[in-house]
Structure 1
């Protein structure tokens, strides 16, 4: 039985539509949240303008649902949330290794197809994909990174656990197919990952987080895609691309993140030509689940979006 979402009532007020588009040789499933491009909102001068559009890229092993708690607090925006190739309802890219180059190319082509010049947002692994794409030429007026991977995962506060994860994904790839896939989708291991990341002491919120991971964390196409994406996630970090990004960038970082310590996030902010760092206390790598209202507030201020009436 699904665990009730603390954010369901807010999300129910937002229009959500599912779409598909062909990019990079494959078909990408994506969802739009909020006002459509046809829905116009009056500006201060009394004229009409289209709603601001954001493309939101989820993290490793996730899919578009993971960012919904943040979107629930941003009803003023039009947000396009795709499932990464090989995850959720998006099929793998045919004939491709799902490395960072492939994901960056996919995001660049996806943005060009559905929302040229949209603001780009990435969470966790999505922060690496978004940064690589923008540094590589994806045009965007602004970049937003939530829980950015600002240092090598193997060097983080829980580098030992990351090394164990390397062994885990390597074993999953080497075992016979059925056995390897079963290991990678093992419910006890998924729950262990969820427990390790959650910081909240709110029992209802913890149940919701674990329920989300139970439901979506194993929604990958096959073990090859998962292995490729994992290797990409631990072989790269945002530092590689920050010096080549010249658009205003917002970093929303957690002070208790076990993957990238806050000191590394502070150093990361200095590598951009124009970056703002917002730190959120008492939360780890799950800002999008545990403190979505704070994250949404930072995004709204960064984009200079007024709060919608009645929200």
Structure 2
């Protein structure tokens, strides 16, 4: 397969190394973060002639890059996180006979796949909760956190209003406004709302649904102060957000990371829960493995999809495609465990 990889940052490098051994991979990155990268603007590179485009660009340019590839009739696996509605690209993809899998990372991404599988298994779900975090294995630095992905996309998590479903209605909440503590295999963590449901709000008929991001306790209070002081705003010259992103990019500490995710769905007395735990593998961080493995796995399902937009949860709903994707993800070093519980009155 001839693959065009757009972007070679933290996750792009993992994808490149994983795929270049078996496929012809051309990587484009203006910053030339990969030794083999072509230092060209991703919005100007020729995309025709490739079997697949993998979009690993920052969210501020990712949407345009995916649209451009779909207009050229090339299939796209997109691991970026942008504000636009992925379904707005459906007609473009169908018209040009291209397949598009958006949000193909860990969350959104693998979280959607597991959410879809829970719905497939339970039939009807009353409440669906997603808890996910990529954190250092111990609190470190002033924020108890070490940067493992795009600082600009990280800021989006803290500033974009989080859409959740409550009583069948979609509502927006302050992402940092409601914090809870949860117990996990790696310790007690704090969880706060993030806008990660995205396509799930449209595709799954679940009346109560939310996503929460996980951090070590104390992190949210500090981030809330930075945000409320205006250091994450987009307006200004230079924009405070860009300065903050540059400063946050320095928060890289010599401590291994871990990715933990819990996706839980309930139907009356029945509950199905998936737990995902990822640790570093070789020279790769847990976040690189967790996110990159999903993008790699999508190569083994995308050609069986219909032209248009296929969100990851649809793959989870498929009895044929779900095991194929999960097999690849596990092979890459991602531990996925399912637990099913049914309470019975004695």
- Is TM (by shorter chain) over 0.5? no
Question: TM-score, normalization: structure 2?
Answer: 0.31
- In terms of fraction of residues, the more helix-rich structure is 1
Please identify the structure whose Cα radius of gyration is greater: 2
